[in-house]
Amino acid sequence: MCEEAVKDKKTTERDDKAVVEGAATALADRMLLPLLVAGALLASLGFVLAFTTAPLVVGAEADVPALIGGQMVTHKLLLSQKIFFFHVPVAVVSFIGLFVMALYGLRFLRQRDQIYDLKAMVAAEIALLFIVMTMLSGELWERFEWGVWWTWEPRLTTYLILMLLVIAYFILRAGIDDPERRAVFASAFGAIAFVDGLISLAVTRLIPAGAHPVVFRTDSGLPPAMLVPFILTLLGMLLVAFGLYRFRLRERRLHQQLDELKASYENQKGMH
C-alpha cells in the first residue's frame, strides 16, 4: 500500500519539477511528520501487543518437565521469539526499499530525469538502514537461539549479499563524478542488484548448505493474537520508512537547490 502512495506521488511530481512544488507534494510534505509519528506509534503498539497478547511460542523440549503456575510445562517457551515482531517487518520493508530503488533506476533509464536517480538513491539508503536493522535483530536471535554469531543459513546469506550489494551501489556512486554517468551506472547496477538479490534468495534456499538444520519454521497461519501485532508493526514500519524516505528526499532536493543558488550567486558576483 506504501507502494501505491509512492507511485501516486511520483506521477504528481513529474509535472512540477521546475516550478515550485505542486499542491499534492506540498500537502504530502506537510503530512510527513504526523505520518512518521503515526508509524512510530503503530509499530510501538504492535510491540506492546506482541508482549502482552501474543502467546509465547513453544520451543524445544525441556530437559526436565516442570510444574509452572499449576501447569505441567514440557517445552521451553521462547521469549526470544518476540524478536520476530521486529525482525520480519523490518526485513519486509528493506526488501520493498530495494524494489523501489530498482524501479526508480529503471524509470531513470527510460526518462533521464535526475529526480528519479535521486529517489532511487534515497530508497537505497532507506533499504540499507532496514537491512542493517534486520541483520542486527537476526544476529541477536541467532546468538540466543542457535548459539552462534554467524552461520551460512539461507536467509542470513541472502541478507549479507543484499547488504554488500547496496554498499557496492554507494561505492559505485562515490566513484563517478559526472552526475549523468553516475545516474546511469547506478541505475543499471541497482537493477542488477535487485535481480541478483532475488536469485540469491532462491538459490540459497534450494540448495541445502551442509548439515545445518533449518531451524526456521514457516508458520504460514499465524494465530490472530500474533497476526494482529505483526500486521500493526509492519504497517508502522512501512509508514516510518516512507516518512524517512520523504524527509531524506526533501533534504537532498533542498541541498541541490542550495548548491544551484550558490553557483548562480558566484556567477553573478563574477560578472560584476
Partner 1 sequence: MTAPGERVDNSPGDLPTGSLGVLPNNLSNNPPAKPPAKPPAKPANNPPTKPSGFRQFCVLFNRDIKQELRTRQMLSSMGIYALLVLVVFGAAFAHTGPVATSGVAAVLPAGTPASPPTSPGISLISISGGLMWAMIVFTSLLGLARSFKAEKEADGWEGVLLVPLDRSLIFLAKACANLVFLLVVEAVTIPLFYVFFLSGLELAASFWLVAGPLLVGSAGIAGVGTLLATLTSGTRGTDVLLAILFVPVIFPLLYTVVAATTAALVGSPDMALDYARPMVLAAAYDLIMLPVCWLLYDFIVST
List interacting residues with partner 1 (CB under 8 A): 109-110, 112, 157, 161, 164-165, 167-168, 171-172, 175-181, 184-185, 187-189, 191-193, 195-196, 199-200, 202-204, 206-207, 211
Least Cβ distance, residue 168 to partner 1 (angstroms) = 5
Least Cβ distance, residue 158 to partner 1 (angstroms) = 9
**Based on CB atoms, which residue is closest to partner 1, 172 or 225?**
172
CA distance 100 to 105: 8
Least Cβ distance, residue 205 to partner 1 (angstroms) = 10
**Based on CB atoms, which residue is closest to partner 1, 6 or 183?**
183
Least Cβ distance, residue 58 to partner 1 (angstroms) = 32
Return the residue matching grid coordinates 508493526.
233
**Based on CB atoms, which residue is closest to partner 1, 77 or 172?**
172
CA distance 254 to 260: 10
Q: What cell does 208 get?
A: 541445502
Q: Answer whether 85's CB lies under 8 Å from 47's CB.
A: yes
**Based on CB atoms, which residue is closest to partner 1, 94 or 233?**
94
Q: What cell does 134 get?
A: 534486520
Q: What are phi and psi of 74, to 5 degrees?
A: -105, -15
Q: Answer whether 42's CB lies under 8 Å from 1's CB.
A: no
